[in-house]
Structure 1
Amino acid sequence: MSDYRYYFCTDEAGASLGLDLLDRVFEDEGLPVATMEIDEDRKIWEVSIYAPGEPDETLRQRIAACVAADFPDAEIQLETFAETDWIAKSLEGLKPVRAGRFMVHGAHDRSAVRPHDLAIELEAGQAFGTGHHGTTAGCLEMIEIVMRAHPSGPCGVNPVLDLGTGSGVLAIAAAMLGPVQVLATDIDPVATRVARGNVRHNHAAAQVHCVTATGFHSTAFRDAGPFGLIIANILARPLMRMAPDIRRNLAPGGSVILSGILASQRWQVLAAFNGQGMRHVQTLWRNGWVTIHLK
């Protein structure tokens, strides 16, 4: 079995438009959309959708139809990859990442941990969240700010919900900061399994409970909540759709940390949560992405 991508070439403005067009259609299917500059001198960019398995002509036709109005001359091209653990390969060269007092690292970088670091050790897995992406690093920094600023200390936000946990790194971070119970959920059972392994590896299993759950339909939310802190590092549009459910599962006076949001999408997300009676407290900006704290 191979992994593959469909892509087309455009300029920088076209790449931004293409990313938005494809993201609207394919984000709920879990197909990553990406842009990349491939020729700086000629100002050529690529817009890509990555997919697992063998190439699918139906997917190519859907992509072509999605961009046809704005890119009538786009040639949808195909690139296939040999079966490779891309996450493991990419992590080989990654250096430790610091966000506030947190340091996220692999086993090969244990020697870089300083005495007062809150060190989270992750290895290659099949779930998002190594700390190297601006959204994950922003969330780590914001979690520390919010939990330490609570009048009752970190335990004042108990219990915590990590919605869309991925690797489990944010749930682990919350557990490291204080004696809180954390519900870590993901729609992907592979992510849940990876998160559970990382939680055990970082000695947080007594505090973090990992569950596979779609939306807020699982009884796990009712059993564990309402939550003093909800962390959701997903994508802007799903976050806006879930705003009413997030508000309903938040304890009175609780905090929400949102990320996975492009800077250009910030006002839309704020409007959705303002409509639920929540107010903006702080925004952190990292590499074109934002992390938002609301109450």
Structure 2
Amino acid sequence: MSVDQLSISLTKEQAYALVDAVSERDDLALTASAHENEETGEWVFEATCDSPPDLAAYAALARQVLGGDVSFSVEPIDPEVNWVAKSLEGLAPVIAGGFYVYGSHETGTIPEGLTPMKIDAAQAFGTGHHETTTGCLEAIEALLADRNPARMIDIGTGTGVLAIALAKRLEAVILATDIDPIAVTTTVENAVENGVGDQIDAIEAAGLDNPEIAARAPYDLVVANILAGPLVELAPGVGAITQPGGTAILSGILNTQADGVIAAYEAAGFALKDHLKRKDWTTLVLEKA
């Protein structure tokens, strides 16, 4: 596959605004990120795209988000390079709730009082930097202050970051599922790296379509950081596998999509308990009646 890297120097606020705007589209980029150039101090927006990138669409989006015309530079990426990891390497550690998410490149001291998780950039979603992941970690932190769930499932686990967070705090086994076999392998590797390999069972599943999911039900905690559309489709099934009084933590939802997801889960027997907003993104905490 031929892949290009599109980039431009902006202010920090502009770079993050453009990342958010690109993230709302599924047709522009494979990954999008913002980072500070350590040599110049400038902030850089970068997007990894199928070659050739749709420069006209990027120019239109930049005019909408930034209020003016900008010039993007485009460079081809070596097809032998893991371009997802390349685009994300060097990211600073993230503190969300009581969790500290960092990459193996980080050499600083882990702050006291936080639960560390080493999650390297990989070909799966979930390094802790996106608002959907930080929102879920904050919701998990708040939930664990009140209860200790025993039966848990992480749907669309990605790198396994949320399942690992639960395993780090609880003496229980978490079922982690993903439609992508690369994500399943990544989750297993990250679980072992973080010392919780025996607490996470990672399996390949499209949504709830795996007999292992039904066999372990009912769950007192369901976590799903995917997208609003699939979350709405899964609402009846999530309602069926969640025990009364159980909790669902859902993200991957734009603020503008939250009401539709809430309505779908209320119809499936849930009540809204918390609504976290981080920039343009929502995390929902719901309880099964």
Task: Give the gaps of 5 or more residues in structure 1.
Answer: 7-15, 37-47, 64-78
Instruction: Pick the aligned partner of 2:102 from 91, 102, 105.
Output: 105
Match of 2:176 in 1: 184
CA contact (8 A) 2:217 2:241 kept: yes
Instruction: Pick the aligned partner of 1:160 from 152, 160, 164.
Output: 152
CA contact (8 A) 1:181 1:208 kept: yes
Match of 2:40 in 1: none
Normalising by structure 2, what TM-score?
A: 0.75
CA contact (8 A) 1:19 1:35 kept: no
The residue correspondences of 1:17-96 to structure 2 (distance < 5 A) are 23=26, 50-51=49-50, 81-83=76-78, 84-96=81-93
Instruction: Pick the aligned partner of 1:203 from 161, 186, 195.
Output: 195
Instruction: Pick the aligned partner of 1:241 from 217, 226, 233.
Output: 233
Considering only aligned residues, what root-mean-square deviation do their CA atoms show, in Å? Answer: 3.2
Aligned-pair distance for 1:274?
Answer: 0.9
The change in CA–CA distance for 1:124 and 1:18 in structure 2 (over 3 A counts) is closer
Q: Where does structure 1 differ by over 4 angstroms across 4 or more consecutive aligned residues?
A: 16-20, 31-36, 48-51
Match of 1:2 in 2: 2
Residue type at the aligned position of 1:108: H
| Separation (CA, whole Å) in 2 of partners of 1:80 and 1:110 | 30
Aligned-pair distance for 1:144?
Answer: 1.2
Match of 1:142 in 2: 139
CA contact (8 A) 1:185 1:211 kept: yes
| Separation (CA, whole Å) in 1 of partners of 2:123 and 2:32 | 18
Match of 2:275 in 1: 283
Aligned-pair distance for 1:117?
Answer: 1.4
| Separation (CA, whole Å) in 2 of partners of 1:268 and 1:188 | 26
Aligned-pair distance for 1:109?
Answer: 2.1
The change in CA–CA distance for 1:17 and 1:97 in structure 2 (over 3 A counts) is closer
| Separation (CA, whole Å) in 2 of partners of 1:212 and 1:164 | 9
Instruction: Pick the aligned partner of 2:210 from 212, 218, 234.
Output: 218
Match of 1:68 in 2: none
Match of 2:70 in 1: none
| Separation (CA, whole Å) in 2 of partners of 1:122 and 1:33 | 17
User: Which deviations, in whole Å up to 9, do the C-alpha atoms of 1:65-123 show, x marking residues without a partner?
Assistant: xxxxxxxxxxxxxx773234333323333111000110000123253302321000012
Normalising by structure 1, what TM-score?
A: 0.74
The change in CA–CA distance for 1:50 and 1:100 in structure 2 (over 3 A counts) is same
User: Which deviations, in whole Å up to 9, do the C-alpha atoms of 1:238-282 show, x marking residues without a partner?
Assistant: 100110011111122100000000011111110111111210000
Q: How many residues align?
A: 246
Instruction: Pick the aligned partner of 1:124 from 115, 121, 124.
Output: 121
Aligned-pair distance for 1:2?
Answer: 1.1
Residue type at the aligned position of 2:124: A
Aligned-pair distance for 1:19?
Answer: 8.3
Report percent identity of matched pairs. Answer: 38
| Separation (CA, whole Å) in 2 of partners of 1:49 and 1:89 | 10
| Separation (CA, whole Å) in 2 of partners of 1:212 and 1:200 | 18
